[in-house]
Amino acid sequence: MLNNMLNVTTDNKKSITQNIPQRSLLSAETARASGVTAGQKASRRDRKKVALTFPADAKHMHEFAIGFGQGVCAFSMKKNAEPVTVAVVKKHYDVFAAAALGIVKARQLVMAPANLATPIRLRDEIEHLANGASEFKSRVHKLTDENFTFTIGRSSENTPKLMTVVYRGNPDSDKVDVGLALKGCTFDSGGINMKPSASVGKMKKDMGASAVGIGLLQWLQIAKPKVNVLLGFSFAENAVSSTAMRTGDIYPFKDASVEITNTDAEGRLLLADAMLAMSKHGGTPKNLIAVGTLTALGKSAFGARYIPSWKQDAQVDCAMEKAGRDSGDAIWSMPLHDGFYEAIKSSRVADYVNSTSGCGAASGVAAVFLHEMAKQCYGEDVQNFTMLDISSSAMGGDGVRNYAGDAVHPQDASGKSLNLLIHRILQEAK
């Protein structure tokens, strides 16, 4: 377990008081930006125990806490590194702690080096959170050589892991309101299709989606919304070795087969495995969302401000776009294009290819590939499928900014997209 860099308590003894005025909470946007500033200020203090005081009728506490968690230092291995301890009154504790601790956890895991954030340690993080509340039930799935997670991860000494977690906040219903498949590539060399040295330095952050998922578990544990959520995590390191997956390899997936045409398109394979594990819980989620750091091309088209979102139908688009506006994690929605379906079925020897070179549109191809894999898992009637490509928002640096508009350091992580998923889940809460 990594050391926590943020503690939240109701005990304000020996704390430095920091007053948050009403003007800092006038809107969700203002509250998020004010939270970032307060978090940065708390991290710079010599005495890192701060008591936050709010107006009696304070609004937008969740958004302030999200910003605060984005502003504090989330990860450090320096010998003099100290966590920030924040005291808030009991009235605000659950809302503040859930959001702030959730986003700090997500940022911490993205920033941690690959030798610490291994598949086994990420499994331990999940089980630690799942064991902390009766609403959770976690499961580690057995891997075989027919699992993409295994075939990718066998190239490394770090054992791959495939997990699911069920959060049942609405015990009156057996249905899953939101299903989240989360990519967890703990380091991505590109495999046989090796990445250039200019980009490989950030590839410890290729598990950004699973880090957001673990941050979401932290939020669910404290916030306890009345909604049922199923999360699938696929953890593997994509290394280069004599046992690495090769181009031209063919693997079965349910009743279909997939030809590997690019070993650096491993993220969509991990997400397919996550959905396969999720399908073993029975029933189709009302909303199925695949989240991954999939392509850098989304950033070229939309910059770091927008999260590319590929949707199955207009109704999903409306819900996710509203969540994007409310959360401050703006999305840019696009449809699943018919031509891309033809492209991923272009293999002469298998039902699908995992990547194409002829049509470009790498993010769009990943989306239709995952939609096809979702239909393999849940049947042709799978509804409300969405893919989020969070590469530009999860990895930090190069124009990524926090909610205060400050540039994020290249080695930092913003935690953006966690608040988007929180708002999307709350839309389904009873």
State the burial class of residue 57 (Cβ atoms within 10 Å of its Cβ: 0-12, 13-18, 19+): exposed
Q: Using DSSP bridges, classify how beta strands 256-259 and 250-253 pair: parallel, antiparallel or unpaired.
A: antiparallel
For this structure, is 195 an active site residue? yes
CB 319 within 8 A of CB 228: no
Structure tokens at 316: 């999903």
Catalytic residue among 41, 59, 195, 345: 195
Residue type for 225, please? P
Structure tokens at 216: 């979401």
Q: What SS3 class is residue 12?
A: coil
Residue type for 73, please? C
Give the DSSP H or E segment for 276.
Answer: helix 267-279
* Beta carbons within 8 Å of 186's beta carbon, 6+ residues apart: 114, 117, 118, 119, 122, 158, 204, 206, 207, 235, 236, 237
Closest CA relative to residue 416, chosen from 397, 403, 429: 403
DSSP 135-156: TEEEEEEPP-TTSHHHHHHTTS
Closest CA relative to residue 288, chosen from 217, 231, 354: 231
Rounded CA-CA distance 192/209 in Å is 23
Catalytic residue among 49, 268, 311, 424: 268
Chain center to CA of 45: 30
Rounded CA-CA distance 318/312 in Å is 11
Which residues have a catalytic role annotated?
Answer: 195, 268
